[in-house]
A and B are shown apart, each in its own frame.
Chain A
Amino acid sequence: MRFSLNWLKEFIPDFNYNDKTKETLELCGLEIENELKLELSFKNVVIGEILEIVPHPKKKNLLLTSVKVLGGDTSLKQIVCGAHNIKKGDMVPVALPGSTVNHTKLEVKEIAGIKSEGMLLSLKELGFPEEYFSKSHEGILILKDVSEKDNIERILSLPDVILEIKIFPNRSDLLSVYGMARELSVILDLPLSNCLVYSKPSETEGQVKLEIENYKDCSFYSATVIEELQVKDSPTFMQIKLIKSGSRPINNLVDISNYVMLELGQPLHVFDYRSIQEDTIKIRRGKTCGEVLLTLDNSVKTLDDEILLIATANEAIGVAGIIGGQSSGMQENTSKMLLESAHFSPEIIRGGRRKMGISTDASYRFERDLDPYLAELARNRALELIQRLGYGVISSSTTAFKKPLQTEKLITFSTNEVNNFLGTELPTSEIENSLRGMNYNLINDTFIIKTPSYRRDLEIPQDIYEEIGRVIGYNKIPGVLPPITNLSFTYKKSLEANLRDLLVHLGFIEVINSSLVPEDEISLFGQPLKLINPLSKDMSLFRSSLLPGILKTAINNIKFGVKNLTIFETGRVYRQTEKSSLAILITGELFSINWLKMNIKPDFYYLSGVINRISEELNLNLQIDDKTPNQVDMNSYDFFHPFCRALIVKDGKETGYLGEINPFLIAEIKPKVEKIFLAEMFFDLPVKLENYKSTFYHEPSRFPSAERHLSVTFPAEVSFRNIREKIDSIKIKHLENINLIDLLTNFDYENKTSYTFSFTFRSIENSLTEVQVKEEIEKIIKCLITIGGELRGNI
């Protein structure tokens, strides 16, 4: 919120704004987000009355004015002016030759051949930067309600500083000049000049009948009828305060309600009395049967029972605390109005505001929970201004409210509790001293605080401890490390963290992609999780797979000339539920090109080797399988080459895929992309290493091993899986290891495949004899023959 330093000083005259007080305010949570110094950049500017206006004889768009300076000599000054918002009789700021404007001395000038003996000034020329106040004022500043004794500096209240202070949503009491001054007086320990005493209008058996449907929605409502209205511009001193606060002057009656809102924080509303049918105001929820309202911003809103309305006997004339209706808005010729000052519940305002999508200065304040006693004070202040300035006559005033408006809030705590919470050793007297501006009783080190009605944020002792802490200064409390007592947890890294470490060990580079993906991204999984309010179309789905992201990463890097990639990503995806996912991508060669011509071109089997390694190291029991995936996963499966892909199965359940990317998907990409191999697997949340087994030491055998090679041919229809399962099914003594070391398809021009195995045997007890090894090899040969194997060689 914008605050004029001079306006604040009206309530807290001793406030000295400098670097030190600024730092104190910031430490106490009043962050100055912006600071604009309004300097006194002019000298000897006077007030003049425009006696005559004629068009400039030589140049269109210019005007020629005759101005009489107030309190100066009687001679008329001839002044050329470019702005057109002036009329005869207006009082304006005038710079005569010899005066200074914008730090520059003024001289008599000729403008388009006519002598101009001075200048009529706009706010911009008086030192109000246009870009900051652009919406507030244009053209020559027309002075209202000024006298001979006034001077421009005082009317504009210069010099001044505009402070933009960040206000947290729990501090509705700071959304006003008075409230902010009150807070500053507490933080800086300065006296607050309390001048908020205004007389109450006499409660008349008013012509207005008030009906409040539910006091929970509206605990206080005051309707004052004012007649004999004089609608005109408000006095300049008030306009300037509004402008400095970022508000735009409209007319005296609207300005007064804005002025009171800025000064005290209470939004007020005025209705043209002609719209109040049957002299009745009902504060009620909207009707669900299609009730509508044309609001002041000229849009038709559908109402319902979650929106609180101000209505007459027959129809709604405004949305309570948010916006008025078009039909009840003040007209130029209005002579009678109804001034509303009320307290609405923050929940109903916030609900209605969100539902209708309209946010106003009034709703902003109401939804932050205002002081329920403020409505009456603000009404009295507004009526005082209206009467004093002679804008109208109060004809009746009616109030309806719940009793009591607020139950007294008491907070009790002891000196001990304060010290335990803050970790300090403050004596009671120091705590007392820090309870500035609080109403409290002290009985034997126990404080009973009666919280002020405007401090909506004070509810529990901790709220008071915060106040004490900030007066003492949090930065003065010494830090203490808590005792390290609770080291009882068993440390276990998450599966995701383990996978990351393992892949880094395997030489892979980790990438991190966005979780929010474009709507048209290749849908890899049935029903996508959509954002209702995306920032852009490019980020409108929550990803269901890491593959498109990691593929994009690969292509971007290839475009930058990085062609060899071994990368991985872990992250969350959404596939009916949130899952943790791991994606691996390999393309190009393993090593960068080198003169030694040493390299490896990774392929499907390299990737399946990585997965096998992961499975073994983390004991995940992953298997690679060629069965068709279930229906919902079919989309993902089509991401792969139709003849170079496989499923990853964990404990018998599909858990991912691997293979070459479907060449169709990268066919269009330039520069041409080489084969890309990808794998992705999914894990249910929470990801824990459920199969984690402690490793126990095994004594390695001290005896030599015996290695035997066996070449066997099989008919093509016997798959390697059949062979492997067959070997695994028989008991072979001392077998340490089996490796497939050669594979020839179409062997001997027959439809046969030849496999060469290496078997390693070793005993932990002794050296194996030739006979022992031979016996086991015979066993293997015999079993392979039963599934169609033919022995080719046996070394």
Chain B
Amino acid sequence: MINIKEIKKQLEQANSLCELEALRINLLGRQGVLNSYLKDLKNLPLDERKKRGEELNLIKEELECIISKKIEAINRSLLLERLKKDSIDPYLPPFPINIGRMHILNRVINKIIHVLERLGYEAVEGPEVETEYYNFEALNMPLHHPARDMWDTFYLNNGKLLRTHTSPIQIRAMEANKLPIKIIASGRCFRRDNPDASHSPIFHQIEALYIDKGVSFAHLKGTLEYFARSMFGREQKVKFILSYFPFVEPGAEVAVKCVICKGRGCITCKQTGWLEILGAGMVHPEVLERQNIDYKIYSGFAFGMGAERIAMLMYGINHIRHFLDNDLRFLNQFKYNLED
């Protein structure tokens, strides 16, 4: 009689596919144990033959099932063996993936542009090498105007100059655009100032201009309040300090609550709790009239600021030279999520 117990034990102990195959041939092969019992069936009486045959078939099925399960198990352990070679150490240093970055100044400029684009301002640019006309004359500063001294200017050997502010773009927009005008101009400007911690002869300015029917000072103030809150937080307030720029009337320096000390007073704000961050005013009718805009119907406002000053305040940068130094150890400090 077949010793099922012994056979199962043998199958259980087989631990390679070869061994298992040998056992299978021995048990279930054509010359195998089971077949030899089946051949012997014909010598048995009919009723016993039938019973015995069914018994043998059940055994055969059982063994086949055991063998196929065993094959699967061995295959799985073989695969695991192979995968083990791929094992990693999660504590080893990761691969140094790179990331591209925009310069912090352009990121600040972009942020300002985005804030104002929500109000419908369109970003425009203009030339850095400008004429006297656009930089001064059209801005209500004819030759010999004493206000020209407010901007120390670099003059060029081609009769032109390096723009001292982005305001010439306002004039170009008035020449080109249909009314109303709602633009934000940005770009590099030049002043013949001796460099110090907060001044550089090369700097970047951003300037907004809005001309439409019925634009009032209250609109300028509302826009600046929105701007200050968008840039420096909900709690922000603006303060107007009367000033003078020939192309606006009235003109003002605009201060926000100090972003460093939140208005309590610190070195940055000279203990005043306020920081002057931009210049603003209502567009001077003379400027409109020169561009054939009827100042009796249209009025407007403009405001402008230095990108470096804003960036220095936002990120606590203590010296303006960092911006043009391009030390990658500086530039790489400004991570991707800084803008929110």
Contact = CB atoms under 8 A, between A and B. Distances in A.
11 contacts: A170-B246, A421-B216, A423-B219, A469-B250, A479-B221, A479-B223, A480-B216, A500-B106, A511-B331, A533-B192, A566-B98
B144 A347 contact: yes
Contacts of B326: 511-513, 553, 556-557, 567
A594 B192 contact: no
A489 B324 CA distance: 34
A377 interface: no
B92 interface: yes
B225 interface: yes
B122 A491 contact: yes
B305 interface: no
Given A367-B146, A531-B154, A482 B210 contact: yes
Nearest to B283: A462
Contact of B244 (A169, A494, A594, A687): A169
Contacts of B103: 510-512
A565 to B, nearest CB: 7
A530 B157 contact: yes
A694 B197 CA distance: 46
B240 interface: yes
Interface string A22-66: 000011110100000000000000000000000000000000000
Interface of A: 26-29, 31, 168-171, 346-347, 350-351, 354, 367-368, 420-424, 460, 462-463, 465-466, 469-470, 474-475, 477-482, 484-487, 489, 491, 493-494, 496-497, 500-501, 503-516, 529-535, 539, 542, 553, 556-557, 560, 562, 565-567, 571-572, 574, 578, 590-592, 594-596, 598, 685-687
B158 A529 contact: yes
Interface in B65-98: 92-93, 95-98
Contact of B100 (A351, A422, A503, A542): A503
Interface in B182-200: 182, 188, 190, 192, 194
Nearest to A345: B144
A480 B221 contact: yes
Given A479-B225, A489-B122, A512-B326, A168 B243 contact: yes
B137 interface: no
A591 B223 contact: no
A687 B128 CA distance: 13
Contacts of B155: 531-533
B329 A469 contact: no
A596 B324 CA distance: 35
A500 B218 contact: no
B193 to A, nearest CB: 8
Contacts of A368: 146
Nearest to A568: B100
Nearest to B245: A168
Interface of B: 92-93, 95-103, 105-106, 117, 119-120, 122-123, 125, 127-129, 144-147, 149-150, 154-158, 162, 180, 182, 188, 190, 192, 194, 201-202, 210, 212, 214-226, 238-244, 246, 249-250, 252, 282, 284-286, 299, 323-329, 331-332
Contacts of A529: 129, 156-158
**Chain B interface, DSSP helix/strand/loop, else mixed:** mixed
A421 B282 contact: yes
B277 to A, nearest CB: 16
Contact of B98 (A29, A513, A542, A590): A590
A556 B250 CA distance: 47
B120 A487 contact: yes
A389 to B, nearest CB: 35
A470 B219 contact: no
Contact of B243 (A29, A351, A494, A686): A29
Contact of B146 (A350, A422, A462, A562): A350
B106 A510 contact: yes
B106 A591 contact: no
B276 to A, nearest CB: 10
B299 to A, nearest CB: 7
Contacts of B190: 515-516
A370 to B, nearest CB: 12
A138 B171 CA distance: 54
A556 B327 contact: yes
A481 B156 contact: no
A515 B188 contact: yes
Contact of A460 (B99, B215, B285): B285
B181 to A, nearest CB: 9
Contact of A539 (B106, B150, B201): B201
Given A27-B241, A482-B210, A423 B128 contact: no
- 7 nearest A-B pairs in the assembled complex, by CB-CB distance: A423-B218, A423-B216, A29-B242, A479-B221, A168-B244, A479-B222, A466-B250
Nearest to B250: A466
B192 A170 contact: no
A420 B296 CA distance: 11
Given A423-B218, A531-B154, A506 B123 contact: no
